[in-house]
Amino acid sequence: MNCYRPYALWLGLFGIALLNTSCDNLEQDGQRLVTTYARVLVERQTGVDSATAARHIDSIIKASGYTVEEFEQQLRSHGTTPQSLRSFYDSVSTELGRMRSDSTR
């Protein structure tokens, strides 16, 4: 039975590495959603013509690597609890502030 201990150790280390990579990917996906939604909000506020704004929003969503359906589903997933919704909108507010400060430079 002792001959399996080194394999168990390597398997455990591999599991930790995989979990860490998965968390990084989730964080990157979360930031991508926040950035995309912030850009959509800016377009909604600055678009003069609703049809043109809708086309621009679709292009923003697609350029971010989402389909419209995936984007909407991801947004809905952040509304499952009040805490996750608040956290998401706090992140979006921070991103909008960053975008605003970048545009004034």
Consecutive sets of 10 residues in the chain, 105 residues long: mean pLDDT of each? 50 46 53 95 86 93 96 92 93 94 80
pLDDT at position 50? 86
Report pTM: 0.70
- Does residue 43 form part of some domain? yes
Encoded amino acid at 96, one letter: L
Q: How far apart are CA 23 and CA 71, in angstroms?
A: 20
- Does residue 3 form part of some domain? no
pLDDT at position 2? 52
Domain assignment of residue 86, given as a range: 31-103
Give the total number of structural domains in the chain: 1
- Does residue 94 form part of some domain? yes
Longest CA pairwise span in the chain (Å): 72
